[in-house]
A and B are shown apart, each in its own frame.
Chain A
Amino acid sequence: DAGVIQSPRHEVTEMGQEVTLRCKPISGHDYLFWYRQTMMRGLELLIYFNNNVPIDDSGMPEDRFSAKMPNASFSTLKIQPSEPRDSAVYFCASSTGLANEKLFFGSGTQLSVL
Chain B
Amino acid sequence: QQQVKQSPQSLIVQKGGISIINCAYENTAFDYFPWYQQFPGKGPALLIAIRPDVSEKKEGRFTISFNKSAKQFSLHIMDSQPGDSATYFCAATPAGNQFYFGTGTSLTVIP
Contact between chains at A41 and B97 (CB < 8 Å): no
Chain A residues with CB under 8 Å of B36's CB are 103
B111 within 8 A of A: no
Q: How far, in angstroms, from A35 to B58 measured CA to CA in the complex?
A: 28
Chain B residues packing against A (C-beta within 8 Å): 6, 31-32, 34, 36, 41-46, 89, 93-104
Contact between chains at B89 and A93 (CB < 8 Å): no
Q: A42-B89, A42-B104, A43-B104 are in contact. Are A99 and B97 (CB under 8 A)?
A: yes
Contact between chains at A107 and B41 (CB < 8 Å): yes
Q: How far, in angstroms, from A45 to B93 measured CA to CA in the complex?
A: 13
Chain A residues with CB under 8 Å of B101's CB are 35, 42-44
One digit per residue, 1 when the CB lies within 8 angstroms of any chain B CB and 0 when it does not, for chain A 37-55 equals 0001111110010000000
Instruction: Say which residue of B89, B93, B102, B104 sits within 8 Å of A99 (CB atoms).
Output: B93
Chain B residues with CB under 8 Å of A107's CB are 41-43
Contact between chains at B93 and A100 (CB < 8 Å): yes
Instruction: Say which residue of A40, A98, A102, A105 sits within 8 Å of B97 (CB atoms).
Output: A98
Q: How far, in angstroms, from A40 to B98 measured CA to CA in the complex?
A: 20
Q: A42-B89, A99-B94 are in contact. Are A105 and B102 (CB under 8 A)?
A: no
Contact between chains at B43 and A108 (CB < 8 Å): yes
Instruction: Say which residue of B6, B46, B98, B102 sits within 8 Å of A48 (CB atoms).
Output: B98
Chain A residues with CB under 8 Å of B31's CB are 99-100
Contact between chains at A4 and B32 (CB < 8 Å): no
Q: How far, in angstroms, from A33 to B36 measured CA to CA in the complex?
A: 16
Give B82 Cβ to nearest chain A Cβ, in Å: 22
A18 within 8 A of B: no
Contact between chains at B97 and A42 (CB < 8 Å): no
Chain A residues with CB under 8 Å of B93's CB are 99-100
Contact between chains at A45 and B43 (CB < 8 Å): no
Q: How far, in angstroms, from A55 to B35 measured CA to CA in the complex?
A: 24
Contact between chains at A105 and B45 (CB < 8 Å): yes
Give A84 Cβ to nearest chain B Cβ, in Å: 21
Chain B residues with CB under 8 Å of A25's CB are none
Instruction: Say which residue of A35, A41, A56 sits within 8 Å of B103 (CB atoms).
Output: A41
Contact between chains at A42 and B103 (CB < 8 Å): yes
